[in-house]
Chains A and B, each alone.
Chain A
Amino acid sequence: MNKNALDFAIKYGFLILLGGLALFFSLYASGFASPRSAVFILQSVAITGILALGVTCTLVVGGFDLSIGSVATSALMLSAYTMVILEQSAFVAVAVCLLMGALVGLVNGLLIVKMRVPDLLATLGMMFLLIGLQRIPTQGNSIATGMSLEDGSVAEGTFSAAFLWLGRHRFDLFLDRLVPVPVVVFLLIALLIWLFLGYTRHGRLMYAIGSNERAAGLVGTNVHRYKIVAYMISGMLASVGGILLAARLGRGDIASGNNLLLDSVAAALIGFAVLGAARPNAFGTAAGALFVGILLQGLTMMNAPYYMQDFVKGAVLVAALVFTFYLSSRRGGRRTA
């Protein structure tokens, strides 16, 4: 393979594959190529995508956030608890969840920069802690209106209509009731994170920290503050994901969201391979999430069994990582030679 072909393959290979996949399913899976199906795919990746954008921010500063899945499920339980048991409004529920996400991010960040706990271990510990914590207030039960409480009374609160709107409302776009709110939120957040990481000085400094932390510090960057902010963004986006999940389910389901962590980390890592970036980036993350969504939707429509899903996701991830690290290193080697 000559140099130009290799460069082209690294840069556009993944997007071409994405397009090819879409074309393939359009031809062979009937009903795949329709607006409803496209929206369904977007809806299926919206929540993982939001979490993945958060973890992308921590990857940019050279960190990693394993606690996102548990932050999301905590937000799911917390919003249900606030509305159903404390009988608060949708606004309070959302605010409390965002605050919780920011606080978890702050604690993660402080553990990492002040206590010098390695990022993987700090966020692993936080994940464990949150998985346990979210079960304590309800003795491990799911939360729904009418459930009986410890003191013998019955939970009277309900998920307010405004809150459910977040998960269930669909905007009209050409067709009636086409685009669900979570998809809009996902696209908006993707746009914001893309602008923030790629086009602001804060994003540029975060990439500098991820590339050479010492050098970034020695030019006067407040490395600690940026790292903490990255974890806080990650925590808040994870709780946004949790809120949307709660709004879709309409109950505080203790068993939901088990796959969130792995799926979103996979999307962020697949994103490395998009456009040959070989580093975390918001566009890649969104494309990575979409790639997994298209693949699963297509396979499902072609009657592939559900238990193949994780295997397929894993295979895509491994392929993307090879793409990123092996091919890019070969290109790097040629460039300096």
Chain B
Amino acid sequence: MKNVTCKLRGLEKSFGQNHVLKGIDLDLRSGEVTALMGANGAGKSTLVKVLCGYHFADAGHIELGGEPFAPTDAADAISKGVVTVHQSIDDGVIPDLDVATNLTLDRLTEPGVGLFVNDRKLRRQAREVAEGMGLTMDVRMRVADLDVADRQMIAIARAMARAPKLLILDEPTSSLSSSEAERLFALIDRLRAEGVAILYISHRMSDIRRVADRIISMRDGAISGLFETDPLDYVGAVNAMLGHQMTEVDIDPVEGGEPVLRIEGLKLFEDSREIDFEAREGEVVAFTGLLGSGKTRLAEIIYGLSEPAAGRLLLDDKDYRPHGAGDAVSKGVFMSPKDRSVNAVVPDFDIANNMTVPFLGAFSGLSFLNDKAQRRSTDDMIDKIGVVCQSNSDGIDTLSGGNQQKVMIGRWLLKASRVLLLDEPFQGVDIGARRDIGRYIRQTANGRTTLVFVAEIDEALEIADRIVVLNEAAIAGEHKNKNVDLNSLVADVSGPGERLALAG
């Protein structure tokens, strides 16, 4: 048995009424890569932030190398040997300085360093660090001029210069190509051989297959599964991460009528497989898949925000090539984007203006707005979709998340559409509002085709007639929403390779 480097017992953390970590027990051993999986909001990032000193735990304790470990801040955590490489790479490097300075920056802040920088000595030290990590670039290059993978390596190299006991990598491959990722994995292999304990957070099954020695799944602030058999049970891990209670919503799936949107030979990215798909009038199709499976990309292509690498789209049997959101909207293709506060809410506007903003043309004559018509339509939609507010002139920021989201969805239901795209419509929405939105979308589904993009399987089961699973930018499976075989659905989510393994 390897030595336990870091031991967590009964860790708890709350933000206000929100109980984020509900008692985490976890051992991280030296020379071992532990993959941590969890959906959004499962508590992964809170756990990481407690470990690296951004948050204090409310209860429980941590031991590091046998000593109690309670970092007072991020710098303290680092000096005690817990080093984190965050998802956003440029947090870990200073892009405008050269490689040598980046690698030796921490030495400049040590006490007793002279006033003048000895560049030659600095570069020699940097070259030593770089060689130790297997990096070959010229240390005089500016970091901003390096590619993403090299910058990532330098962030890790900086972290390693402090000889950490525990290295935390938070989605390190999210902006790397597959060959760049392979270089990162080689580096992880070296560090593992040197006896560092590594906590690896990722949504990418291919990464986890490549590097993980064991998998921990988190769900709703607790550890929902621990997998360390050989070979690892990847399907079990995904299952434990997504979980599913039987939903209370009873759906009678419809077949749909004529095809409205046809997708032929579509490649989301240069190196992804082709997608063929047909969405029919009157049906609601849910696309599900892990983060980075291509859901958002697909929605963006249909809405004209991105160009596909190959293939074509047909809308009502006619070639459909939207250039930009305005064009898509004029052709009857609407999209409610994810992350509403960034992408959808106009904070200075009241409810009525937020709701009617896409269709101001229809609410004006000779360009002059008809305020009454705007407010009448808004009141109508407030009633139908059930927005809880005092009046249509309330500021949008006075509403709760669920009610804001109802306004954002209602915005696109004011006018008839041919294709309605909903990217994560239930993000940050309480269960009541989620039911209201789902019910109303199904009620109005006739006359258009509705595509919903959700990461949570439960949400897909609650709203869709058909569920399509995306994995690594390709369709991994399709299920009619009637007595769905959840095991095979989860197997599709975790990857096509797994299904073959199960069948064989």
Chain A residues in contact with chain B, CB under 8 A?
A: 195, 199-202, 204-205, 207-208, 210-212, 214-222, 279, 332, 335-336
Contacts and interface: CB of A to CB of B under 8 A. Distances in A.
Given A208-B357, A218-B325, A200 B364 contact: yes
B245 interface: no
B465 to A, nearest CB: 26
Please give me the 10 A-B residue pairs with the lowest Cβ-Cβ distance, nearest first. Answer: A201-B360, A220-B329, A211-B348, A219-B358, A220-B326, A200-B367, A201-B364, A220-B325, A211-B346, A208-B346
B316 to A, nearest CB: 19
A224 to B, nearest CB: 10
Contacts of B402: none
B265 interface: no
B332 to A, nearest CB: 12
Find the residue from A208, A220, A222, A335 having the highest chain B CB count within 10 A.
A220
B329 A201 contact: no
Nearest to A200: B367
Contacts of B353: 204, 208
B320 interface: no
B347 interface: yes
Interface stretch (B44-52, B138-146, B176-184, B337-345): B337-345
A335 B347 CA distance: 14
B398 interface: yes
A42 B411 CA distance: 44
B363 interface: yes
Contacts of A335: 395, 398
Contact of A216 (B328, B346, B395): B346
A199 B324 CA distance: 26
A264 B345 CA distance: 31
Contacts of B305: 218
B342 A214 contact: yes
A301 B367 CA distance: 45
A335 B390 CA distance: 13
B369 A219 contact: no
B401 to A, nearest CB: 13
B347 to A, nearest CB: 6
A299 to B, nearest CB: 36
B116 interface: no
B328 A202 contact: no
A210 B346 CA distance: 9
Contacts of B367: 200-202
B395 A279 contact: no
A195 B368 CA distance: 9
B455 interface: no
Contacts of B330: 220
A214 B325 CA distance: 11
B398 to A, nearest CB: 6
A211 B360 contact: no
7 contacts: A195-B368, A199-B369, A201-B361, A204-B353, A204-B357, A211-B346, A218-B337
Contacts of A212: 342, 345-347
Interface string B376-417: 000000000000000000010110000000000001000000
Contacts of B358: 219-220
A335 B353 CA distance: 19
Main SS class of interface, A? helix
Nearest to B364: A201
Contacts of A207: 348-349
B363 A201 contact: yes
Contacts of B348: 207, 210-211, 279
A34 to B, nearest CB: 38
A3 B50 CA distance: 40
A202 B332 CA distance: 21
Find the residue from A207, A219, A279, A335 having the highest chain B CB count within 10 A.
A219
Contacts of B337: 218
A218 B335 contact: yes
B346 A215 contact: yes
Contacts of B398: 335-336
A291 B397 CA distance: 32
A219 B357 contact: yes
B298 to A, nearest CB: 16
Given A201-B361, A205-B357, A207-B349, A215 B368 contact: no
Contacts of B342: 212, 214-215
B345 A215 contact: yes
Given A211-B349, A217-B325, 8 more contacts: A195-B368, A202-B367, A204-B353, A208-B346, A211-B346, A215-B342, A219-B357, A222-B326
A199 B367 CA distance: 8
Given A219-B329, A220-B330, A199 B360 contact: no
Given A201-B367, A202-B367, A335-B395, A220 B328 contact: yes
Contacts of A208: 346, 349, 353, 357
A233 to B, nearest CB: 15
A145 B328 CA distance: 58
B306 to A, nearest CB: 13
B374 to A, nearest CB: 9
Given A199-B369, A200-B367, A336-B397, A218 B357 contact: no
Find the residue from B324, B346, B364 having the highest chain A CB count within 10 A.
B346
Contacts of A218: 305, 325, 335, 337, 343-344
A140 B328 CA distance: 53
B414 to A, nearest CB: 11
A215 B345 CA distance: 6
Nearest to A217: B325
A211 B361 CA distance: 19
Contacts of A221: 325-326
Given A207-B349, A220-B326, A215 B343 contact: yes
A204 B362 CA distance: 13
Nearest to B342: A214
Nearest to B374: A204
Contacts of B369: 199-201, 204
Contacts of B335: 218
A7 to B, nearest CB: 13
Contacts of A220: 324-330, 358
B420 to A, nearest CB: 14
B346 to A, nearest CB: 5
Contacts of A205: 357, 360
Nearest to B304: A220
A275 to B, nearest CB: 15
A202 B364 CA distance: 10
Contacts of B395: 335
A210 B358 CA distance: 15
A218 B327 CA distance: 11
Contacts of A211: 346-349
A204 to B, nearest CB: 6
Interface in B274-288: none
B349 A200 contact: no
B339 to A, nearest CB: 9
A217 B343 CA distance: 9
A199 B368 contact: yes
B400 to A, nearest CB: 11
Contacts of A215: 342-346
Contacts of B345: 212, 215
Contact of B360 (A204, A222, A336): A204
